[in-house]
Structure 1
């Protein structure tokens, strides 16, 4: 394993040993609460909220997560997503898993599907995501959510939607100002990408955690065509993956943790349970307490 350190020198063991708030399992988890956050195209879009039991904190950080599935499948009730929500709630987070419009259900999202349609797919999913975030913030008093500590994340297609919503809002939304009051503390991406990393600026460069295989065959690790389509294919669309986004954050002097798996493919869109202690420690130190860390790990 090779480690690359920037700004601060520390070891992975230091990360795992830090045990101030939101890193230890302190709570049991209550029954999830299901809410409908929007109705679109005749479909009720729901989310599940998981909370720590007997938590007396008046303001709690929230993690809002979007499942993968190629915009064609998947569910907020996937075993891995539910397990992650429980892991977060045990540490004191309000954890939210969301449903969104699966606009490519029973349809192609590969090289035969035109690039403009792919952009529209990203836009609709990003809009659903932001509407779910806004819904939760509108209920911040009911769920005792701290609006200054909103962590968002996704896997694969969900990560693409989340990353584009956060970093490419001018490409995703006709009226980006609709969501201008939402502030993100951090992003958690599993094999995700954005349409164009050049749109990441000092103002929207939210700190992030990335997991990605260097040979991902669907979502590029660095900069490459979506699904590695040939240039003459209808679905040819260049994307900037985790490596490219991390490089942009580095240039902007923003924090990130990039876990890259040499030779790994799209399986690294799965929840990295083996590394969650490190992930939650980074959340705590950087997203919640503002430390500045730039870390790359090549496995």
Structure 2
């Protein structure tokens, strides 16, 4: 039954498109002293209104990954990129929000206008927002009719053998198979991007105790799998011997996601992981969750029922979660408002409340 759902998901995803103080001696030889240290910020301070200019660093390489092209017989390495949006302030204590674009695991971009708008909203209020690209089916070239044993060798290093075998059993077309492989690669890349953020936290004055991860559509599917899965999941199934680019992904870093933001996604990737590895990953230590999902989402891979199913899982584990129902909205409802608030405003309220951020 799960394989049927795998086929359905793969086929339909294709359609979606610092300062210091010191003292010195007085000239009259009186006792020297050091003034009291400045108060230490316990939690990050963010602004209720747009306050800072948004500064952007684009196309930063966060890791490498393997891909195929029209002429490759073995996988080749490519650079994986992200954009960093940060405020024009001197805070050394900034929260971070990593956002993952959608695109049905067949395409998409970190510079989607709605993501850029959200990045400016958050950076102008004191966050660092990181928008990432990741490998999709665009990085995969499969010749139709290729024998299964050749496919296993062709995609070695891009996905684990057991994932490839499971995909071959659950799809009917080459495109569906490529999407199935891309789902794994996207997860590996998103985790690598988050480890890069931790490794480079000092560069952008990020407090890694305040990490939010979010995404839309395929990005929401990837967000859920990132926040719920263990650090080693979607990472250690491939060895460095099979994928030498893993050595570029800050494997020594760890992270702790505090909040997840989900726009019109699903739980499918964790279900597939359970199918392949027999592991149910949800537990009571999972990150808190904000969801926004339209009741008229006609994409069968991301129906509104996926959000209510996730809410049920979270409620059963007594983990705080919020589902904002976008009445009458379809897939990709970026312009939705509820109670006069848009998505950025709703997620802002959720994050500052649940992470106990100081708002000025």
**TM-score, scaled to structure 1:** 0.73
Residue from 86, 104, 116 that aligns with 1:70: 104
State the match for 1:200 in structure 2: 282
Q: Aligned-pair RMSD on alpha carbons? A: 3.1
Alignment partner of 1:39 is 2:64: yes
Shift in Å, 1:118: 5.0
Distance 1:95 1:171, change over 3 A: closer
State the match for 1:230 in structure 2: none
Gaps of 5+ in 2: 1-44, 67-76, 143-166, 239-250, 272-279
Gaps of 5+ in 1: 1-19, 224-240, 291-299
Number of residue pairs matched by the alignment: 250
Q: 1:228-284 CA distances to partner (integer Å, 9 max, x unpaired)?
A: xxxxxxxxxxxxx2221122112222112211224433133x365723222201110
Distance 1:271 1:200, change over 3 A: farther
State the match for 1:243 in structure 2: 308
Matches within 5 A, 1:137-216: 137-169=198-230, 172-174=234-236, 181-195=254-268, 196=270, 199-203=281-285, 205-216=286-297
Distance 1:34 1:118, change over 3 A: closer
Distance 1:113 1:36, change over 3 A: same
Distance 1:286 1:253, change over 3 A: same
Q: 1:147-202 CA distances to partner (integer Å, 9 max, x unpaired)?
A: 110111111111111211222447644459x6883100101111111234753111
State the match for 1:6 in structure 2: none
Residue from 37, 44, 50 that aligns with 2:85: 50
State the match for 2:346 in structure 1: 278
User: Runs in 1 of length 4+ with deviation above 4 angstroms?
Assistant: 104-119
**TM-score, scaled to structure 2:** 0.62
State the match for 1:17 in structure 2: none
